[in-house]
């Protein structure tokens, strides 16, 4: 028994209640520890050292070759993937958002956090009330105790209600509840981040599928042309018009081109499997749509959210802030443990030998109790406070690192988009030149004015430039999708799809 509990045991019940009331008037109800303050936004106006161009470079007469303009301050659409103008893509993303097991897990985890908060709120904000009802049959041996008279058997009935409440004088319970609310916010942002990541992965995988399909088609077309040239070369060898070494060289190129196709086809198969899993399907059981580059339109206007707004829009930053809030609340809980703890209890009941008299006026019993526990010596309390403070400092550092990584992510994507446009412009020019050179070389070869080596060189250039062009077109599309993702995907504007609004629980806990 502690020193404080002994003290209360020496005073009447009414005195204990007066002592509790006096404590309330003396201390008041306040929460110890620091009140959480939302971190200040980053003190920067842009993302890159170089200013963004008014618009990117263009590649006329080429798919995905249009100019893109950076619109600073423009809001990101909640359904940002619709900017690629692909109904097939829109339908598949909607299916993935409905059927993805990863989203189901995130939603269940959020519900768990919400119910944990509700359970903690119910047990800490309100008194605990318990009811009991019992009966006891007892027999006595009077002769064994030296008493006259025969043995007696009697029944004792009792019923009562007990009310107990831990007075949150210094806000320890409120701080704990605040921490549970912050954990609920964290799971909410995790869910939103999972939605954003799922949509971005579907978009990127669909575009990569289109790239691999186009590269396979281009390689197969070049292979068919090389096989045709190889057949002509064999005929000319039989006529003695060319040397066998030239035929062997051309055959080597045919087989090299043939060998380059299966690895691309393997990547295509893996991408199809990924798309099926993202949509909650088994790879061999689902129907995965087939995309082509022509299914996508390159968005011309790109939103650029300013850094101060970015930290309020990206789910990962908001999740990190929620963890910082939880660490702050835990710090307050630990501090409150070093202050007096007050427990109040009361019971009201009835006790009688006859069940019919159980609730009579003469059978009522009652009790009141109050207890103050003040830690006098606990070597671990100070270390616990320092531990909680270190946890808060770690959460603050993690938050700053998350913000820096987000700024870096946006900066990388913005620079990539500008460089992608320049790369596509150069690849488009190279492809046009290589195709023109190949056409001229084929005409010269048919007229006998070019050698097989020259034709082979032209074919190699045409093959590589066409595949590089397809890769450049796809890269521009995927980096555009990455920009929408890096800006937070616009989920704060209404894509929550029935989820509880973030911070609603935290607001109720304040």
Residue 144 lies in a domain: no
Q: Which residue has the higher pLDDT, 23 or 81?
A: 81
| pLDDT class of 279 with cuts at 50, 70, 90 | very high
Q: Which of 123-137, 199-213, 214-228, 329-343 has the lowest mean pLDDT?
A: 123-137
Residue 106 lies in a domain: yes
Containing domain of residue 235, as a range? 31-135+154-339+374-509
Residue 5 lies in a domain: no
Give whichever of 3-12, 45-54, 118-127 has the largest mean pLDDT.
45-54
Q: Do 506 and 185 contact (CB within 8 A), yes or no?
A: yes
Phi-psi region of 486 (alpha: psi -120 to 50; beta: other; left: phi over 0): alpha
pLDDT value at position 194? Answer: 95
* Separation of first and last alpha carbons in the chain: 35
pLDDT value at position 236? Answer: 84
Q: What is the mean pLDDT of residues 181-192?
A: 95
Share of the chain above pLDDT 70, in %: 78
Residue 395 lies in a domain: yes
Q: Do 204 and 89 contact (CB within 8 A), yes or no?
A: no
Q: Which of 48-62, 73-87, 180-194, 267-281 has the lowest mean pLDDT?
A: 48-62
- Number of domains composing the chain: 1
Q: Which residue has the higher pLDDT, 406 or 5?
A: 406
pLDDT value at position 143? Answer: 62
| pLDDT class of 161 with cuts at 50, 70, 90 | confident
Give whichever of 145-154, 239-248, 292-301 has the largest mean pLDDT.
292-301
pLDDT value at position 506? Answer: 45
Question: How does pLDDT run across 426-436, given as a tens digit for each residue?
Answer: 999 999 999 99
pTM of the predicted model, to two decimals?
0.81
| pLDDT class of 310 with cuts at 50, 70, 90 | very high
- Answer yes or no: is pLDDT of 109 > 70: yes
CATH number of the domain encompassing residue 88: 1.20.1600.10
Residue 349 lies in a domain: no
Reported as type and span, the H/E element at residue 385 is: helix 379-446
| pLDDT class of 456 with cuts at 50, 70, 90 | confident
Q: What is the mean pLDDT of residues 272-294?
A: 92
Beta bridge partners of 72: 304
Q: Where are the beta strands (DSSP E) in 176-271?
A: none
Residue 162 lies in a domain: yes
Residue found under tokens 């908001």: 318
Residue 149 lies in a domain: no
Q: Do 64 and 298 contact (CB within 8 A), yes or no?
A: yes
Question: How does pLDDT run across 358-382, given as a tens digit for each residue?
Answer: 666 666 767 777 667 666 666 677 8
* Averaged pLDDT score across all residues of the chain: 82
| pLDDT class of 314 with cuts at 50, 70, 90 | very high
pLDDT value at position 507? Answer: 41
Residue among 314, 206, 212 nearest 262 (CA): 212
Residues in the chain, overall count: 510
Per-residue DSSP letter, 32: -
Backbone angles phi, psi at 51, to 5 degrees: -70, 145
Handedness of CA 58, 64, 69, 70 (dihedral sign): negative
Beta bridge partners of 368: 346
Residue 14 lies in a domain: no
Helix (H, G, I), strand (E, B) or coil at 282: coil
């Amino acid at each position: 028994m502690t020193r404080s509990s002994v003290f209360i045991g020496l005073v009447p019940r009414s005195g204990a209640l007066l002592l509790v009331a006096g404590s309330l008037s003396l201390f008041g109800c306040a929460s110890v520890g620091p009140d959480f303050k939302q971190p200040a936004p980053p003190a920067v106006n842009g993302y890159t050292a170089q200013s963004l161009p008014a618009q990117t470079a263009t590649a006329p007469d080429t798919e995905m070759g249009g100019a893109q303009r950076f619109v600073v301050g423009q809001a990101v659409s909640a359904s940002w993937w619709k900017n690629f103008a692909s109904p097939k893509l829109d339908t598949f993303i909607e299916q993935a958002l409905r059927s993805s097991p990863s989203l189901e897990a995130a939603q269940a985890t959020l519900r768990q956090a919400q119910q944990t908060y509700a359970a903690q709120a119910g047990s800490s904000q309100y008194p605990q009330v318990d009811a009991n009802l019992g009966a006891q049959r007892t027999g006595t041996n009077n002769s064994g105790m030296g008493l006259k008279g025969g043995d007696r058997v009697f029944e004792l009935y009792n019923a009562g209600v007990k009310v107990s409440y831990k007075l949150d004088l210094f806000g320890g319970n409120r701080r704990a509840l605040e921490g549970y609310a912050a954990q609920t916010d964290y799971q909410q942002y995790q869910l939103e981040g999972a939605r954003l990541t799922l949509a971005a992965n579907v978009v990127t995988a669909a575009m990569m599928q289109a790239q691999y399909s186009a590269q396979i088609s281009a390689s197969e077309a070049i292979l068919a042309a090389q096989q045709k040239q190889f057949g002509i070369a064999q005929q000319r060898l039989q006529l003695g018009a060319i040397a066998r070494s030239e035929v062997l060289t051309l055959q080597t190129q045919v087989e090299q081109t043939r060998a380059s196709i299966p690895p691309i086809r393997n990547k295509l198969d893996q991408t199809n499997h990924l798309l099926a899993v993202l949509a909650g399907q088994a790879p061999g059981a689902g129907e995965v749509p087939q995309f082509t580059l022509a299914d996508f339109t390159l968005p011309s206007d790109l939103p650029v959210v300013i850094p101060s707004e970015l930290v309020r829009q990206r789910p990962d930053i908001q999740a990190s802030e929620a963890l910082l809030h939880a660490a702050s609340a835990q710090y307050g809980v630990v501090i409150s443990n070093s202050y007096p703890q007050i427990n109040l209890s009361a019971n009201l009941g009835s006790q009688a030998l006859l069940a019919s008299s159980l609730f009579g006026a003469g059978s009522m019993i009652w009790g009141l109790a109050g207890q103050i526990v003040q830690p006098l010596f606990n070597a671990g309390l100070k270390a616990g406070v320092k531990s909680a403070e270190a946890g808060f400092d770690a959460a603050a550092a993690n938050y700053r690192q998350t913000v820096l990584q987000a700024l870096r992510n946006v900066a990388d994507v913005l620079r990539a988009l500008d460089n992608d446009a320049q790369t596509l412009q150069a690849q488009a020019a190279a492809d046009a030149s290589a195709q023109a050179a190949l056409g001229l070389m084929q005409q010269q070869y048919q007229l006998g004015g070019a050698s097989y080596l020259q034709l082979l060189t032209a074919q190699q250039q045409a093959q590589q430039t066409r595949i590089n062009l397809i890769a450049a077109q796809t890269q521009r599309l995927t980096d555009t999708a990455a920009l929408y993702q890096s800006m937070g995907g616009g989920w704060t504007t209404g894509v929550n799809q029935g989820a509880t609004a973030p911070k609603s629980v935290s607001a109720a806990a304040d």
